[in-house]
Amino acid sequence: MDVGIAIALGAAGGAIAEAVDRWADLADWQRARHAARQNQEALPILTKYIDPVADGLVALTRLIMGAVVGWLFHSEVSGVSAAIAVGAAAPALLAQVGAARGTR
């Protein structure tokens, strides 16, 4: 696969994985709001479930890791969905590479 395309698709995979994580936070917030409405309590604020600064930095890091893994594995992947999956799995793949090299 072309290096530039693998990098872009890896970053896209990282973005998709991060979007899934943020969706889980939003779903938790939604459940808490429904429970608070049923119990006639104060509604929880969104920032109790999402920290824009910390979550934004994690998202940026995840995109970068996805791009790096896309670059590292560009000769190993042959399809779009495989490149996206590699990017989505970037944190786990990089942890494995680090563990194999004894850096952790």
pLDDT tens for 27-45 read 999 999 999 999 999 999 9
pLDDT higher than 70, residue 81: yes
Backbone angles phi, psi at 78, to 5 degrees: -125, -5
- Looking at residue 43, its pLDDT comes to 96
**Owning domain of residue 21:** 3-100
CA distance 56 to 75: 30
Query: What's the structural domain count of the chain?
Result: 1
- Whole-model pTM: value is 0.79
